[in-house]
Amino acid sequence: AQKVTQAQTEISVVEKEDVTLDCVYETRDTTYYLFWYKQPPSGELVFLIRRNSFDEQNEISGRYSWNFQKSTSSFNFTITASQVVDSAVYFCALSEAGEAGGTSYGKLTFGQGTILTVHP
Amino acid sequence: NAGVTQTPKFRILKIGQSMTLQCTQDMNHNYMYWYRQDPGMGLKLIYYSVGAGITDKGEVPNGYNVSRSTTEDFPLRLELAAPSQTSVYFCASSYRGPLNQPQHFGDGTRLSIL
């Protein structure tokens, strides 16, 4: 069965520091998808990124960057020059493509989440 | 464009009561999901649906029921509320297509059972 582990329960940084949130996953599928979601204090879930298992190219979007390494089953998320507005719970999630031509219907397995607090 | 709408936002129930959490999406998504989020934990899948009339259990289905009579609506029913069902419930939907499309989430329903 698939599993997602976010070992960092809480991280506290001062504004403008860089911070990396770790995500390690387990799956038997060779095709799968990894996601990051942000949950700000208001409680909604905001989609940040999706990565396919066959695309290991790292991605940068403004102050956000993601490092995908299949060799270590990791999909880490870095925020550069953190800001107070980045304070939130961040979830890593996995969706398998399914077995032998089937489909998982996009079901997500979430990690426990990392609480990020950015102090001014 | 409303996206995924959940009602109510908050509710307090007594043990043994029943209620229905409503979820509606206006994006014509085939796939819909119900998750629960317990304090300090990630989301766990309760039920999901791949289209009208088709539903299936997720990881934690006990104590819940669902139905999907239309593409837009996917209500979640609690028949006999128990304290263990105190949680925040999220409904989500996604497009049926390749590459496992991102799910769009509602704002959640915070449910307390006393």
Confidence of residue A62 (pLDDT cuts 50, 70, 90): very high
> What pLDDT was estimated at residue A98?
66
**pLDDT of B33 over the 90 cut:** yes
DSSP structure string for B51-71 = ETTEEEE-S--TTEEE--SSS
Helical H runs in B9-86? none
Mean local confidence (pLDDT), B76-82: 95
* % chain B with pLDDT above 70: 96
Nearest CA in chain B to A8: B40
Give me the residues of B, 40-99, that contact A with CB < 8 A. Answer: 40-45, 48, 50, 58, 88, 90, 92, 94, 99
Mean local confidence (pLDDT), A35-41: 95
> What pLDDT was estimated at residue B83?
95
Mean local confidence (pLDDT), B47-51: 93
User: What is the C-alpha separation between B54 and A55, in angstroms, rounded?
Assistant: 32
What pairs with residue B29 in β-bridges? none
More confident residue, A54 or B57: B57
Q: What is the DSSP letter of A18?
A: -
Q: What is the mean pLDDT of chain A?
A: 91
User: What is the C-alpha separation between B108 and B114, in angstroms, rounded?
Assistant: 19
What pairs with residue B93 in β-bridges? B32, B104
The letter for the amino acid at A61 is S
Q: Is B101 near chain A, with CB under 8 Å? A: yes
Q: What does residue A15 show for φ and ψ, rounded to 5 degrees?
A: -45, 140
| Chain A residues touching chain B at CB-CB below 8 Å | 4, 6, 9, 33, 35, 37, 43-45, 47, 50, 52, 91, 93, 95, 97, 104-113
Structure-token match 């959490």, residue found:
B21
More confident residue, A32 or B40: A32
pLDDT digits (tens, 9 = 90+) for B15-24: 999 999 999 9
pLDDT digits (tens, 9 = 90+) for A80-117: 999 999 999 999 999 987 654 456 788 899 999 999 99
Nearest CA in chain B to A94: B100
Classify strands A24-26 and A32-39 as parallel, antiparallel or unpaired. unpaired
> What pLDDT was estimated at residue A102?
55
* Contact between residue B23 and residue B34 where contact means Cβ atoms under 8 Å apart: yes
Question: How many other C-beta atoms are found inside a 10 Å radius of the C-beta of residue A24?
Answer: 16
**Cα of A42 to nearest chain B Cα, Å:** 9
Q: What is the DSSP letter of B16?
A: T
Question: How many other C-beta atoms are found inside a 10 Å radius of the C-beta of residue A62?
Answer: 8
* Contact between residue B58 and residue B45 where contact means Cβ atoms under 8 Å apart: yes
Tell how far CA A38 is from the center of its chain.
9
Task: Say whether A33 and B94 touch across the interface (CB within 8 A).
Answer: no
Query: Could you tell me how many helices (H) and strands (E) chain A has, helices first?
Result: 0, 12
Structure-token match 């304290």, residue found:
B83
DSSP structure string for A2-27 = -EEE---SEEEEETT--EEE--EEE-
Helical H runs in A1-120? none
Query: Could you tell me how many helices (H) and strands (E) chain B has, helices first?
Result: 0, 11
> What pLDDT was estimated at residue B31?
93
Question: How many other C-beta atoms are found inside a 10 Å radius of the C-beta of residue B31?
Answer: 22
SS3 assignment, position B84: helix
Mean local confidence (pLDDT), A69-90: 96
